[in-house]
Structure 1
Amino acid sequence: MFMSSQLDGGFEINLDHRKLKTPQAKLFTVPSEALAIAVATEWDSQQDTIKFYTMHLTTLCNTSLDNPTQRNKDQLIRAAVKFLDTDTICYRVEEPETLVELQKNEWDPILEWAERRFGVEIGSSTSILGPSIPARTREVLASHLASYSTWALQGIEFVVAQLKSMLLTLGLLDLRLTVEQAVLLSRLEEEYQIQKWGNVEWAHDYELQELRARTAAGTLFVHLCSESTGVKHKLPQE
């Protein structure tokens, strides 16, 4: 298995001298050599049976190349910003008090960081409708997302869908959070309930590891795609 550079600057994957294709039979090409190496490594890790459900980078590349939902960059940005309406860390419980305090202690620092980082108002709410997100907040975050490539936006949407949180995803991308931290924060209520009532241990561990794997792959995909476009994002000033 090896990579070869194309004339347009992209990189393709060759499997046993055969060019890799997407589900729609397009030539599988990626925008950076680093991403090509990561995808090749993903294929190398497969054994006798190819398990596509474990190949998150390959899947994200296929989605970017085939674009099955036929969305352009503006549509991808709007879809990502819309996740704010149901952002996990903006929805708070009113009881029990121990969970109220846990959400405040663990989620408030991320919420406050995001408001400082982007100079916006977000807030939280115990209402089933969630907080009322100001129009300016949406505009500012949409402008920030516009600095990413279309490929990277596919990865961002994937991570947001895993964490059910745009704010945790932004924290990941700005290196404010690690994958492990973001995943645990996204599962705060579930982890609280498990500690209180217990759970089937193997099922919990499997679910947690799967979520970490998908989140890590999506985050890596975004960074590798962003590198290829020359996008430089300022790190947060603490």
Structure 2
Amino acid sequence: MRDQLSNPENGVSSDPMHSAQQNMRKVLPKRFYKEVSTGERDGRFHVLLDGRAAKTPGQNPLALATGSAADLIAAEFEAQSEDIDPSTMPCYRLANTGIDGVAVDMQAVLEDVLRFCGTDLLFYRADGPEGLVANQRTHWDPVIDWAEELAGARFILAEGIIHAAQPRAAIAGMGVHLKTIDDPIELAALHSMTTLTGSALLAIAVWKGRITAGDAWTAAHVDEDWNIAQWGQDAEAADRRDKRWSEMSAAERLAKSLSRQA
């Protein structure tokens, strides 16, 4: 049964994030363990299933830098019933992505986050109606102001969808902080928050403890929530958003459990 949980699927992807996620798309294995615990070995923290260290789908040790991160994943294993359903284990999946994918090429993932800094959601403002414009200012401007202070440079805002090239100094300034991440799982969590919100600035603000994941989620959905207020929301869209929020919340918890940010 452990092979069902651990063996990677066939196929190779040049994208380290996608490659790791592909390994987790499997027929659900049965729960093969009774007890879940954690243990430290050689300075790393492991999730133990009946006393045996769990592995990733890529057959790498599921080893984490902190006990609190291991506890998050252990709790997800403990919550499984007859089957092990990775879709209900977002911290576990992020850890697998970090270990099996991001660790292979951390620079590529870092550069992807930096690309979001160049085309960030928060840079592109509506020219109306005034209520939407005001909501964007309320939720976005404080993050922009903070990010400019962090980067030591100004960002350029634009109305509509016309591309606004950002100053190299601003992108480089954000890169200085991102390069302090040496844990691939932490970087996987930050990347996940970036793609879920469409904003590296929001993700970095959560990672740095400036705002909460809930604050970032509200900011990322200002436009969508304005449209919902005018036209309503269908149940399928609401369900997709709820599932994405679960991923966002898990990414924040895992990042905070690993981060050295003050």
- Shared fold, TM over 0.5: yes
C-alpha displacement at 1:204, in angstroms? 4.8
Where does structure 2 lack aligned partners over 5 or more consecutive residues?
1-35
Aligned-partner residue type, residue 86 of structure 1: T
In structure 2, C-alpha distance between the alignment counterparts of 1:199 and 1:127, rounded to whole Å: 24
Residue 183 (structure 2) pairs with residue 150 (structure 1): yes
Taking structure 2 as the reference length, what is the TM-score of the superposition? Answer: 0.79
Greater relative contact order (CA < 8 Å, ≥ 6 in sequence) = 1
Matches for 1:151-170 after TM superposition, within 5 Å = 151=184, 152-170=186-204
CA deviations 1:157-211 (Å, max 9, x no partner) are 11101111011112212322222111111011110000011112x4454334323
| Letter matched to residue 89 of structure 2 | M
Residues 1:221 and 2:254 aligned together: yes
Say if 1:68 and 1:118 are closer, same or farther in 2 by CA, change over 3 A: closer
Residue 42 of structure 1 corresponds to: 76
2:53 matched residue in structure 1: 19
Tell me which moved more, 108-117 or 63-72: 63-72
Q: Which residue of 1 aligns with 2:37?
A: 2
The 1:123–1:103 alpha-carbon spacing in structure 2 relative to 1, beyond 3 Å, is same
Paired letter, 1:54: T
Q: Tell me, yes or no, if the aligned pair for 2:45 and 2:66 is still in contact at 8 Å.
A: yes
| Corresponding position of 1:66 | 100
Looking at structure 2, the residues matched to 133 and 53 of structure 1 have their Cα atoms a distance apart, in angstroms, of: 37
Provide the C-alpha distance between the structure 2 equivalents of 1:116 and 1:142, rounded to a whole number of angstroms: 14
CA distance in 2, matches of 1:174, 1:29: 23
Matches within 5 A, 1:82-97: 82-97=115-130
Shift of 1:41: 0.5
| Residue correspondences, number | 226
Q: Secondary structure at the match of 2:125?
A: coil
RMSD between aligned residues: 2.0
Give the corresponding residue for 1:176: 210
Q: CA deviation at 1:106?
A: 2.4
How many angstroms apart in 2 are the aligned matches of 1:146 and 1:85? 17
How far the C-alpha of 1:86 sits from its partner, in A, is 2.5
Q: Retained in 1: the 8 A contact 2:151–2:172?
A: no
Paired position in structure 2 for 1:53: 87
Alignment partners' CA distance in 1, 2:143 and 2:61: 41
Report runs of 4+ in structure 1 exceeding 6 Å deviation: none
**Partners of 1:111 and 1:123 within 8 A in 2:** no
Alignment CA distance shift 1:103-1:218 (3 Å) = same
What residue identity is the alignment partner of 1:176?
R
Any gaps of 5 or more consecutive residues in structure 1? none
Equivalent runs, 1:182-221 vs 2, <5 Å: 182-200=216-234, 202-221=235-254
- With the length of structure 1 as denominator, give the TM-score of the two structures: 0.86
Q: Is the 8 A contact 1:183 1:211 kept in 2?
A: no
Tell me if structure 1 keeps the 8 A contact 2:102–2:188: no
- Residue of structure 1 aligned with 2:144, choices 90, 96, 111: 111
Work out whether residues 98 and 187 of structure 2, in 8 Å CA contact, stay in contact via their aligned partners in 1.
Answer: no
Decide whether the 8 Å contact of 1:122 with 1:131 is kept in 2: no
Deviation at 1:68, TM superposition (A): 6.7
